Amino acid sequence: MVLKTNDSFLNCRIPTLLASAHPIKEDNHKNEYASNSVLTGFDCTDFSSDQTTVSLLNSDSCSLKTVNVTNEIVEVQVLQSQQYDKKAYVQCYVRYFVSVHHCGRWMASNTFLNSYNYILPITRAQCEDMHRHNIFVDPARRWITIHIKDNHGSYNGLAEGNVDNGGSCEGSNFIDHNGKKYPHAYALYDIKVVINKGLADVNIDEKKIILANGLNCEYTSESCFDPLQGFTHWTMGLSNEYCDRTKPLFVIYRGQVNKTTEYKDDNTTKISYFNQQDDRLFYIEAQHKTRICGYEAAISQHPNIFITEVMDYHQNFKRDHLFSIKNIDALILHGMSLSMLYNDISTQMTRLYQNIQFQKCLSDQKIIAATLSNAQSDPNSLGLSIFNTQGFITKVRGEIAYIIKCKPSEVSFRQTKNCFLDIPIYHDNKPKFLSPRSRLIIDIGTEISCDDFFQPLFNFGNEWYSRVNGKFIQAQAPQSIKVETIKKWTFEPLSGISHKGIYSKEDIENYKRSITEPIVLKAVQNSFFEKIYDREASKKHNAPIYSIANSIDDVEYEKIFKIGDWFKQILSSLYGDLLILGDIFSAILAIFCILSILKFFVDWIINGYALYQVFGFTWRIFFGFWNSVAKVFLDNMKKINNHMTQAQIEMKKEISENEIDYQLEQVPSAPQYNNYSLKLNEIK
């Protein structure tokens, strides 16, 4: 439909209604509409009013707004700026407890001089050598060699001097680690060696290395002292390359994704990547181009997430096995999930809006086509149908229609004896009529028969009235046409949004454990060491002493004893039940033995009788109690009898054949054959 206008009153909407008409029900007269009430009609005698030219041939076609989009499957690498790195370290702990005694001439003159403990400084080379060979050699007294097993080793004995079993000693000049000399003394060493190695987290921004027990050290120093594990050493250098960036990058995903390129009207493109495979679910929008290690890449909606397409010549960034779980960023995880959710909702809502607009356009097009086809027969309804308001007159000329907006004017009711399809009124004190629906002022009305069953109804002030005896009486409202929904729409939720994301499921689980495990582990360790710590022994030896027995209190001992008593009761009850069961099985076994003995004699009698029938009174009868042997004797005898019977049958057959041959030799010559034919037949 083509509209030409010089005013803004054409900015209107055409409703789409699909329903079936319902018959009007007549109601008793209730309230009379005042005859002196003022109505509004529309005077169309002034042709200088606004007008619109409408084509009666066709209307504009409906079409969805097409978006130039291309989809393809590409292989990408998703990279993240690395906040933490993993670094291997080695630890060596050597603790000395030294006791120095003066050695006199007599046993009673052996006196205690001093005792102290210290931790021996260990260099990186010494520590690596201890890890490599599992041996520690005392640097001052190299004859003291400690073999390390399961990361632990110890030595307890003399370091200087000599002491025999009788208490006699032989002293020497002992020099401690501080250079202090003890003449005529002997020294006792208690050496404890512990080695350890592991992976520590490196905070790249703060240049801190975080050990497993939570101790922070300066990363650039390459060594520090751990009070619990001793001297710790590592080497500088990160597991991933920096390239031209201030922070190294690591790969959080590599694989195939769906790449969508949208070409917009302003000659710009929107590139996005979507993945919904395995345990990954993410949406990345390439917002700005950049270069990583000389290769083309893009910055995503999050500034720490980058994406690059893998080409044949492309560098394959690797995810190092020393990946720190602390690089899992909760803000990135939730931010990328929200971004994906926003994109999914906006895409579906855009499709819904376009579909609604398209369906509305199709419905409007049908109504406009029907309205244009009825313009010849009812031209004045065209303006009401198009603009959905009263006060328009239409002039059809050829294949176009002129829709003219009439001026509103006040009119009053006029009583008539006859019935009309229109409303009788006075306009400027002249008898006129008001056309239904469009409410146009016309000179001649359409007269109809006054039928009480099919009375015309008119709407005044949102109320319905019928004309009875020249007066308008309020009537029952007719049925309104209802709007029916053509197409239903349901929101399609994005599956996996609650438990999937840009990180893998394994990374997320490790991230959760990294948050909770240190707290739980520290609490368990503190509770355990507090229980096994022996305070009295530690004070006595001036060193921490631990005993597992201290972790068991009186209540737990009582529980253990109760469990032992409970087992004793169960075993005692089980023993009594087994005695009863043994008596029952003994009785059953005795009955079985008696029956077996009876069966033995019965078998001997039966088998002996059978052997006697075959062999007579012979030694074979003695084996009658043995079923298998008796059966062998009887089977052998049966086979012998069968062979004898077969031989007799063959002998009789041979004798019979010889007799037949002999009688055939006595047959007469041919002339006498007829006389002896009967005899020959009998012989055969």
Select the more confidently predicted residue: 3 or 159.
Answer: 159
Look at residue 550 in the predicted model and tell me its pLDDT. Answer: 66
Mean pLDDT of 247-262: 86
Residue 591 resides in a domain: no
Residue 337's CATH number:
2.30.29
Mean pLDDT of 561-577: 85
Look at residue 652 in the predicted model and tell me its pLDDT. Answer: 64
Residue 463 resides in a domain: yes
Residue 603 resides in a domain: no
Instruction: Give the model's confidence band at 382: pLDDT under 50 very low, under 70 low, under 90 confident, else very high.
Output: confident
The answer to whether residues 154 and 245 belong to one domain is no
In angstroms, the Cα distances linking 182 to 99, 102, 116, 175 are 12, 8, 14, 6
Last residue of some domain: 309, 344, 379?
344
0.75 cut: is pTM over it? no
Strand 441-442 vs strand 447-448: parallel, antiparallel, or unpaired? unpaired
13 pLDDT more than 60: no
φ/ψ (deg, to 5) at 186: -125, 150
What residue numbers bound the domain in which 151 lies?
Answer: 92-197
Q: Residues 393, 380: contact at Cβ < 8 Å?
A: yes
The answer to whether residues 367 and 466 belong to one domain is yes
Measuring CA to CA, which residue among 81, 518, 474, 506 is closest to residue 307? Answer: 81
Residue 661 resides in a domain: no
The answer to whether residues 277 and 316 belong to one domain is yes
Q: CA 471, CA 414: separation in Å to the nearest integer?
A: 9
The answer to whether residues 295 and 382 belong to one domain is no
Q: CA 605, CA 607: separation in Å to the nearest integer?
A: 6
Q: CA 307, CA 113: separation in Å to the nearest integer?
A: 71
Mean pLDDT of 255-279: 86
Query: Tokens 């055409």 identify what position?
Result: 14
Mind listing the pLDDT tens digit for each residue in 292-320? 877 888 888 888 888 988 876 556 676 65
Q: CA 592, CA 619: separation in Å to the nearest integer?
A: 30
Mean pLDDT of 493-520: 64
Last residue of some domain: 432, 451, 474?
474
The answer to whether residues 456 and 370 belong to one domain is yes
Last residue of some domain: 344, 375, 393?
344
Strand 407-413 vs strand 38-43: parallel, antiparallel, or unpaired? antiparallel
The answer to whether residues 378 and 312 belong to one domain is no
Residue 588 resides in a domain: no
Mean pLDDT of 444-466: 85
The answer to whether residues 59 and 72 belong to one domain is no
Mind listing the pLDDT tens digit for each residue in 321-355? 556 677 777 777 777 888 888 888 888 888 888 88
16 pLDDT more than 70: no
| Least reliable range by pLDDT among 297-306, 429-438, 635-644 | 635-644
Look at residue 625 in the predicted model and tell me its pLDDT. Answer: 72
The answer to whether residues 369 and 338 belong to one domain is no
The answer to whether residues 141 and 96 belong to one domain is yes
Mind listing the pLDDT tens digit for each residue in 537-558? 666 666 566 666 666 667 777 7
Mind listing the pLDDT tens digit for each residue in 84-105? 888 899 999 999 999 988 887 6
Residue 396 resides in a domain: yes
The answer to whether residues 190 and 104 belong to one domain is yes
Residue 110 resides in a domain: yes
The answer to whether residues 122 and 59 belong to one domain is no
DSSP string, 236-289: ---SS--TTSSS-EEEEEEEEEEEEEEE-TTS-EEEEEEE-STTB-EEEEE-EE
346 CB-side CA count, 13 A:
6
Instruction: Give the model's confidence band at 121: pLDDT under 50 very low, under 70 low, under 90 confident, else very high.
Output: very high
The answer to whether residues 324 and 266 belong to one domain is yes
Select the more confidently predicted residue: 338 or 134.
Answer: 134
How many structural domains does the chain have? 3
Residue 606 resides in a domain: no
